[in-house]
Amino acid sequence: MTATEPEEGATQRGVRQLGSEQFDGLEAIGGWRGMIESVAPGLVFVVVFVAVREIMPAVIASVAVAVVATIARLLQRTPITQAVGGLLGVGIGAIWAWRSGEAQNFFAWGLITNAVFALGVTISILARWPVVGVIVATLFSRPTTWREDPDLMRRYTLASWLWVGAFLLRLAVQVPLYLGGDTGWLGAARLVMGLPLWALVLWVTWVLVSPRGRGQDRAAPAAPADQQDPPRS
């Protein structure tokens, strides 16, 4: 977050949804605005490149979309974290594609980050500090005693493996498209396996680790009639 006032509901977005009473998939991916800001640059790049078969117009168009999104947030004094992150990723991809002359390199940075995340989460699991447990404890100021609870440890580990699976699934589908130079299908795969897949992963994670998701902390059932206090006269 920036020093400006956070948007309504912003603190419940992304991984913070893991602590919410009701999971909201749209909020988990940043709301409609965040979704558009994340999807639009890559979509514009693919559409322009497929239309003109030239890298430079596609690069300029995608960067322009990301810059406009960032400027709009600055003018409205709303949090710019997601927009700036998107701009940085688009900038790296645009430079890579422009310098190499290969359109598919626009998406190369995303493949690298997925590989790094998959490796990092795997290491956290093998070290018995599954990243999901670390995130939940950090975000909600919970003690690390969860590592001594076999049930929580199992749930956090399973959820972390789910994250690894999502990153590896992206690589399994997208790397062959990247190596084959199929920019159109690669861009389509990035869109489908981007925010929609991440929202699904976060929901399953919420079901695994949230008390609400596991059906706990619900309202207790009413006591039997013979155990209730007698009516007052």
pLDDT in tens, the chain (233 residues): 333 333 333 334 567 777 667 777 777 776 777 778 778 888 889 899 888 888 899 889 988 988 888 888 888 777 666 667 777 888 888 899 888 889 999 999 999 999 999 999 999 999 999 999 998 888 777 777 888 889 889 999 999 999 999 999 999 999 999 999 888 899 889 988 988 898 899 999 988 887 665 555 444 344 444 444 444 43
Range of the domain at 136: 10-213
Residue 138 lies in a domain: yes
Residue 228 lies in a domain: no
Q: Indicate the DSSP class of residue 221.
A: P
Residue 186 lies in a domain: yes
Residue 29 lies in a domain: yes
Residue 89 lies in a domain: yes
- Are residues 48 and 183 in contact, defined by beta-carbon separation less than 8 angstroms? no
Residue 23 lies in a domain: yes
Q: How many domains does the chain have?
A: 1
State the number of CA atoms in the 13 A half-sphere of 222 facing the CB.
5
Is 79 strand, coil or helix? coil
Residue 230 lies in a domain: no
- 77 — alpha (psi -120 to 50), left (phi > 0) or beta? left
Residue 175 lies in a domain: yes
